[in-house]
Amino acid sequence: MDDSEADRASSHMSGHMTTRIEVVGRVSGRRRWTVEQKLAILRDAFGPDGSVRAACYRHEVGSGAVYTWRRQAMSGELTGIRSPALPTFSEVEVADPVVREIAPAAPPRCGQIDIELGTGVRLTVDAMVDADALARVIAVLSR
């Protein structure tokens, strides 16, 4: 609109009102954001001097999308890199040891070796046992 059209359009108003109003349109419709763009917007919104409101205004994105992206980024869903699951714990109750009578050991059969550990665990292996494997098993059971 040129000046003469603006004057005619405002001629019905009083001369006291001479300010102009500018309407800034927002981008309408769905937009596609790349992962890099989303991460940049998140840095802008949640960085050291960040502001969600200011980032939403600058990038013309809704706050709901920003918070969704943040949740996705924190879970690894946004970048496709999942964070390892946190360990879970179970309640354990330590009871008094159970005292059992130890039956007398049967005599070893031909080619077998009976091993009784100080913890009360008994093993029977044959003569062909792998010595390294047996040593690892005994080390674990002796703990």
Domains in the chain, number: 2
Task: Look up the CATH number of the domain holding residue 72.
Answer: 1.10.10
Q: What is the pLDDT of residues 58-90, one digit of tens each?
A: 999 999 999 999 998 888 888 777 666 677 777
Average pLDDT over all residues of the chain? 77
Residue 55, Cβ neighbours under 10 Å: how many?
20
Residue 117 inside a domain? The answer is: yes
Residue 12 inside a domain? The answer is: no
Q: What is the pLDDT of residues 26-56, one digit of tens each?
A: 555 678 889 999 999 999 999 888 899 999 9
Domain hosting 130: range is: 112-141
Show the CA angle centred on residue 30, arms to residues 29 and 33, nearest 5°.
Answer: 140
* pLDDT for residue 20 is more than 80: no
* Residue 67 confidence (pLDDT): 94
